Amino acid sequence: MTTGIPVAGSGLARHRQTLPLSEVFGPTFQGEGPFTGYRARFVRLGGCNLSCGTGDAPMVCDTEYTWNAAKFDLAVECPEIRTSTILERAGRISAPISVLTGGEPMTHQRKPAFTALLTGLRELGQVHVETNGTIPPTPAVGELVDHFTVSPKLANTGDPAGRRLKPRALAAFAAAAPGRAVFKFVAASPTDLTEVDRLVSEYSIPRRAVWIMPEGRTAARVLACHRSLADAILTRGYNTTTRLHMLLWPEEDRGR
């Protein structure tokens, strides 16, 4: 008779020790936000709860290979990898900061493997998490993360507001700003900045915790967009960031 309860060594028990991994890379520079230019290792997990840029939306996701099963074979792109193996790869990279990114890494936060990964990464230095801000951290995860970069998606990404803006999560991250969280918005036009203004007001996000990043998939586009928005960003009292990796390594869309 089987009990249905997984036992150590069973397929299910092993699965609980794994996470869908896209890539581990570095050392490189953090390319965006307040830590731009810092040496960092990156761990990119698969899976996302949004689908930015599908349909006719102008703002496209630059890591579709982590979640878009219609375009990519996710079993190949993001195979389930044991946490111990991820940590072993991360440990070979010399850098003071680990950046956990995706996809949307917080979709995995309730898995034991996720807290095991954060715990292991903390032994290597600071742990930063990049998130779309739709999932509030559990207390356990919150304690294991030094810094959240929260990037709520604007209307330009095409997802409906009810999907991309989650009030409880945004309020939780706003309460952690600016000490443990900052907000990074990707903007292409003054209209996008007006939308940022509304969110900042609605969720009481401190302006000093807001970074505006220009849209763009090429160095020329990033620079042109940044120049067109710079004065308006300054006037509003926000910070700004470029996309350093796009300027330094424009031909390389992975591993940088």
Residues near ligand SF4 (CB under 6 A) are 48, 50-52, 61, 63, 102-104, 132, 153
C-beta of 63: minimal distance to ligand SF4 in Å? 5
Which of residues 61 and 97 has its CB atom nearest to ligand SF4 in the complex? 61
C-beta of 163: minimal distance to ligand SF4 in Å? 10
Which of residues 120 and 213 has its CB atom nearest to ligand SF4 in the complex? 213
C-beta of 48: minimal distance to ligand SF4 in Å? 3
C-beta of 24: minimal distance to ligand SF4 in Å? 17
Cα separation, 195 vs 59, in Å, equals: 15
Which of residues 29 and 65 has its CB atom nearest to ligand SF4 in the complex? 65
**8 Å CB contact between 207 and 238:** yes
| Residue whose pair of structure tokens reads 């349909």 in the numeric block | 55
68, 24, 245, 32: CA torsion to nearest 10: 80
- For residue 96, give the amino acid letter: P
Among 167, 21, 26, 172, which Cα is nearest to 103's? 21
Cα separation, 212 vs 64, in Å, equals: 22
Helix or strand (DSSP H, E) at 31: none
Which of residues 39 and 221 has its CB atom nearest to ligand SF4 in the complex? 221
